[in-house]
Structures are given as C-alpha cells and as structure tokens.
Amino acid sequence: MKIRLADNNDLSQINDMFKLVVDDLKNVKKVDMLWGDKYPFCEFKNDINNKEMYILEENDKIVGSFSLSEYDDPDYQNIGWKSNNKKFFYINRLAISPLEQGNGYAKQAMNFIDNYAKENNYNAIRLVVYENNIYAIKLYEKFNFERIEDKYFEFSNKIFIGYEKILK
C-alpha cells in the first residue's frame, strides 16, 4: 500500500470510491451527515489543485483518501482550539472504501498524517467531525485526538465536534 498526492487522473476513481462511502454511511451505518450528491465531491478538484488531497492506493486501486489543509475555515474559528497562534493543519474528508474497511488502511492514513505533521514541524493537527459519525470519532480518539468543543453550525443545522492533537 502506498500513500501519495492525488492528481486529476485519479478523480474518476476518487469519485467512485466516495460514492460507495456516502452510500455506506447513509444506508448501512445510518449516519445522517452532510455528505451526499454535492459535498464532498465539489471539493475534490480544489483539493487536488492545491496539492492537499492524498490517496491510499493498493495494487493501483484507490482504497482511501484524505486532505490536509492549512486553510482555517471561518466556521471553525469559533472553536476554542488549544493551539492558537501555532502552526497547524486540518484533516478533511478522510474516507476508506467500505469494501476495504477493517484492513488497517485508516491506521496507515493516521500514521502517515502524524509523520507528515512531525516532518513538517507542525504544532497541532485539527479536525471537525459530525457528532453522529461515531466511526470517525472512535478512530480519532484512538489516535489521541482530544475533544475540544461541540459547536452548532447554522449552515448545516447540525452539531460538529472540534478535535485537536497537540504535537509540541
């Protein structure tokens, strides 16, 4: 398995994988979240062009993806982060194909993200996750992310949880 930056040639396979993920979350795991026909798909080209999207690839097949971004979304600035005024990035749109879950790919992605943060001298890793996505929450807590604050976001009419991992 390898992890690499995504490029535009990967877009079709990324879309196909995320369609499976969205269907699995909604219809199998019954997680009612913002992911659907438009989001997160509308973000992929931007993520790729900004060199923020990574893919997990096994035998030339995309089995997972995530984005790492320094963009500090104004909606997230109301969370009481502990790493204020320090170097941080956000994990966005982490997904593993439901056909590949349970094979250790999420663990490999999280280890890659930790190493990326350390190698690039970041002080913290942040993320925001929908409160009912218990699968993602378990993963982040397993990797020592601290629950910082629950926030209601008007744009979604849902509560999201800010998680942070302080590195230095």
Q: Taking 80 as the threshold, does the pLDDT of residue 168 lie above it?
A: no
pLDDT per residue over 69-106, tens digit each?
999 988 888 899 999 878 999 999 999 999 999 999 99
Distances (CA, A) of 14 to 10, 125, 140, 150: 6, 24, 22, 30
Mean pLDDT score of the chain, rounded to an integer?
Answer: 94
Q: How far apart are CA 134 and CA 139, in angstroms?
A: 9
Q: Scan for tokens 């002080």, then name that residue.
A: 123
Give the whole-number percent of the chain exceeding pLDDT 70.
98
- Whether 108 shows a pLDDT value over 70: the answer reads yes
Judged against a pLDDT cut of 80, whether residue 24 lies above it is answered with yes
Residue 58's CATH number? 3.40.630.30
Domain span including residue 14: 2-166
Q: What is the pLDDT of residue 155?
A: 63
DSSP state of 145: P
Q: How many domains does the chain have?
A: 1
Q: What's the pLDDT tens digit per position in 112-165?
A: 999 999 999 999 999 999 998 999 999 999 999 999 999 887 666 778 899 999
Q: Is the pLDDT of residue 32 over 90?
A: no
The CA–CA distances, whole Å, from 168 to 4, 82, 83, 86, 118 equal 26, 12, 9, 10, 9
Torsion, Cα of 85, 125, 31, 18 (10° steps): 120
Q: Which pLDDT belongs to residue 107?
A: 97
